[in-house]
Chains A and B, each alone.
Chain A
Amino acid sequence: MSAGILIVVILGIAVLGFILGRQRALSLAARDNVKLHSLPGYYGHSVALFAAVPAFLLMIAWLFIQPILIETGVSRMIPDSVIPDGGARSLVMADVHRIADGLDVLAEKGGLSEEELSRMRADFTNVRSRLAEVGVAVGSDIPVPVLDAAREYRDAKHLGSSLMVFAVLVVSIVFAAIAYSRVRPEMRARNVSESFIKALLMGSSLVAILTTFGIVASLLFESIHFFQMYPAKDFFFSLTWNPQFRGGSDLGIIPLLWGTIYVSFVALLFAVPVGLMIAIYLAEYAGKTVRSLAKPAIEILAGIPTIVYGLFALITVGPFLRDWLAQPLGLGNSSSSVLTAGLVMGIMLIPFVSSLSDDIINAVPQSLRDGSYGLGATQSETIKQVIMPAALPGVVGAILLAASRAIGETMIVVMGAGAAARMDLNPLEAMTTVTVKIVSQLTGDTEFASPETLVAFALGLTLFVFTLCLNVLALVIVRKYREQYD
């Protein structure tokens, strides 16, 4: 039974529980001629919630825990002898997964019965070619223990899902039955269902924590894998980035960081003055009409997906800069360059800087402006010497947030900055960034468990830590600032 059908069945049990629970409450109340404590619907609710929620929780937990158990169990079956030199156990496990999937396909499309599959022996049958027939490619011939492990893996998975269906259904029905039997007119059904719902609400808010946990766990876990295969020292301090398909890669992050910081710097160099001046102009100078036209126009920039900016960089800004700047000056020949990506990213960042700064400038109390005007300061003197210093922490926060955006931005640099890891000062040269390499290492055809792929997780971790620090710093600064004038 697939998970989808199981969900539908449980929902069915819940609906049934609702109807029955409600009826039972009504009929009991009618029989004993007493008043129900709560509205009849709440009795139904309480049964339905007991039928569905524990079952779903069990199902989710099962789906998460089963892979861990099977994985460790099967992994133990593989002797060290079949692990190729310099390879990792995880590589072999990837094969196991693939073969197990292949066996599934064989059973389905190839028409092989379970019996035939279990009789299939790696030393006699050419499993590899049979798998290839159904479109499952395996890198090399399959050693006996690996096929056994694959079979074990497959069996365990099947057993696991059957068990899960059974357990989930039992939980659903048992809980529904208990809840049903507890339905009495004097039962505080509303309180029961409400505390249940409150628990659900709280559970939903935990999704945020789970997400963060998931991010950190997946980044850390695979990064540790990576650092087992590739020395951390080389990753953090090597000046070359040169991944090879067949091992022996140089995977130094420094050229990528250089590109990231250079592009972000160019972007901020453009976005901060422009965004800040826009914020100042719209907050302090612009009349109603200008403000009502220009403000939404600038904000549209924030709603445009980054892929659009990427395309803009690729087809318009890149060629323009190449033909009108790089080639006449003899500074380069590439349409993707730090300047291209930086400028386009700068456009993207304008609304971030301007709308946040606008809020912050507006939060500066009018009394400070009055004080300054009252002394005979001009508007620009007031802005430069009173408002900006007062708003500075908030503006710095806004800029930090923009910087974090710039560092984490992907599509614009993928399409505008280039793919060559280079440490150069010439902004008209193509360079590459951390995010570009995460994309290219994870979308290539390389083996997942190789350092060339896993490096993406280490890059991701670095990126995450970088942006997290910037975000937290920015949030703290902005919050402090808000408190100051609230």
Chain B
Amino acid sequence: MNDATMNNALMSNVKTTTKADVMTESKISAKNVQVFYGEKHAIKDVNIEIRPRSVTAFIGPSGCGKSTFLRCINRMNDTIDICRVEGDIAIDGENVYDPKVDPVQLRAKVGMVFQKPNPFPKTIYENVAYGPRIHGLARKKSEMDEIVATSLQKAGLWNEVKDRLDAPGTGLSGGQQQRLCIARAVAVSPEVILMDEPCSALDPIATAKVEELIHELRENYTIVIVTHSMQQAARVSQRTAMFHLGELVEEDDTDKMFTNPNDQRTQDYIMGRFG
């Protein structure tokens, strides 16, 4: 199922310009993914390879299934009763929908940042320490302090909050809250970070900061970002995948997608003709 040949065979299904290094390196590989919401067929047969330590952007009009697909990767859709997922999504070759996989363990490996900043109604410190605490990543207080500090530094928030770690996380500005949520996700040391329109609730300056942060995080993490903004996708991502009506229209290098897409629908969407 998850051997290289299968992956290669898979890749040939997707109409992309294939490069040698892509073929050999893939962090997440989805194969024949179908998602149903009750009767509604929300995702139709999606196949995609996501490369490690890079940013992949999912674009497409509203309701095209890009967020739904994103939430399949760390099985967040499990919390919705009527949602059913078919097909395989493998991380490092291990299918996350294997019955043996515990979503709890999976989500520690695949962190997530949401559309609206959702800090817990706790202190800034506790917000970041929450994940490491439930996963038992720190044996003592000093270790936890270090994790919190490192994570906040990685999220570029340390200098702004280091003097008020005991202040409530909900008291920060929107952009700070979102970076706190990123720090919270980073604190568990995930390998993949999923971002579901992380800037849609932020002003342009906060957005710029988060985008810069995404750029830096790319060195250590595999990032998948859903975005409504074509410009954002162009700015932050190396690869872009275009979704439409639950289907993956095409997936390619971002540069290529925005200059010379293969599919007419991508062309139309990028030119602003729908969506």
User: Do A and B touch each other in the complex, judged by CB within 8 A?
Assistant: yes
Check B135 for interface membership: any CB of A closer than 8 A: yes
Given contacts A367-B116, A386-B120, A390-B120, are A373 and B106 in contact (CB under 8 A)?
A: no
Knowing that A374-B112, A374-B185 are A-B contacts, what are 11 other residue pairs whose CB atoms are under 8 Å apart, sorted by A's residue number?
A287-B81, A370-B118, A373-B76, A373-B79, A374-B76, A375-B108, A375-B112, A377-B107, A377-B130, A389-B120, A390-B121
Taking CB atoms and an 8 Å cut-off, the chain A residues in 354-397 that contact chain B are 365, 367-378, 381, 385-386, 389-390
- Judging by beta carbons under 8 Å apart, are B121 and A389 in contact? yes
Given contacts A367-B116, A371-B181, are A376 and B121 in contact (CB under 8 A)?
A: no
CA distance A375 to B181 in the complex (A): 10
By a CB distance below 8 angstroms, the chain A residues around B158 are: none
By a CB distance below 8 angstroms, the chain B residues around A378 are: 104, 134
By a CB distance below 8 angstroms, the chain B residues around A288 are: 81
A-B contact pairs, 22 of them (CB 8 A): A287-B81, A365-B118, A367-B114, A368-B121, A369-B79, A370-B112, A370-B118, A371-B114, A371-B119, A371-B120, A371-B184, A373-B79, A373-B107, A375-B130, A376-B105, A376-B106, A376-B134, A377-B130, A378-B134, A386-B120, A389-B121, A390-B121
- Judging by beta carbons under 8 Å apart, are B134 and A377 in contact? yes
Q: Which of A287, A367, A375 contacts B134 (CB 8 A)?
A: A375
- A contacts with B, residue count (CB < 8 A): 20
Q: Mark A277-296, 1 if CB is under 8 A from B, else 0.
A: 00000000001100000000
Given contacts A369-B79, A389-B122, are A376 and B114 in contact (CB under 8 A)?
A: no
CA distance A377 to B104 in the complex (A): 6
By a CB distance below 8 angstroms, the chain A residues around B109 are: 376
Check B131 for interface membership: any CB of A closer than 8 A: yes
By a CB distance below 8 angstroms, the chain A residues around B181 are: 371
Give the 4 A-B residue pairs with the shortest CB-CB distance, closest first.
A374-B112, A376-B107, A376-B108, A367-B118
- Judging by beta carbons under 8 Å apart, are A375 and B131 in contact? yes
CA distance A369 to B114 in the complex (A): 11
By a CB distance below 8 angstroms, the chain A residues around B108 are: 375-376
CA distance A381 to B107 in the complex (A): 14
Chain A positions near chain B (C-beta within 8 angstroms): 287-288, 365, 367-378, 381, 385-386, 389-390
Given contacts A374-B107, A376-B104, A378-B104, are A368 and B118 in contact (CB under 8 A)?
A: yes
Taking CB atoms and an 8 Å cut-off, the chain B residues in 38-90 that contact chain A are 74, 76, 79, 81
By a CB distance below 8 angstroms, the chain A residues around B79 are: 369-370, 373
Check B188 for interface membership: any CB of A closer than 8 A: yes
Nearest A residue to B120 by beta-carbon distance?
Answer: A386
By a CB distance below 8 angstroms, the chain A residues around B76 are: 370, 373-374
By a CB distance below 8 angstroms, the chain B residues around A372 are: 120, 130
Q: Mark B113-133, 1 if CB is under 8 A from A, else 0.
A: 110101111100000001100
- Closest-CB distance, B183 to chain A (whole angstroms): 11
Check B261 for interface membership: any CB of A closer than 8 A: no
- Which residue of A288, A374, A377 has the most chain B CB atoms within 10 A of its CB atom? A374
CA distance A381 to B108 in the complex (A): 14
Check B111 for interface membership: any CB of A closer than 8 A: yes
Nearest A residue to B188 by beta-carbon distance?
Answer: A375
By a CB distance below 8 angstroms, the chain A residues around B121 are: 368, 389-390
By a CB distance below 8 angstroms, the chain A residues around B104 are: 376-378
- Judging by beta carbons under 8 Å apart, are A381 and B134 in contact? yes
- Judging by beta carbons under 8 Å apart, are A385 and B112 in contact? no
By a CB distance below 8 angstroms, the chain A residues around B134 are: 375-378, 381, 385
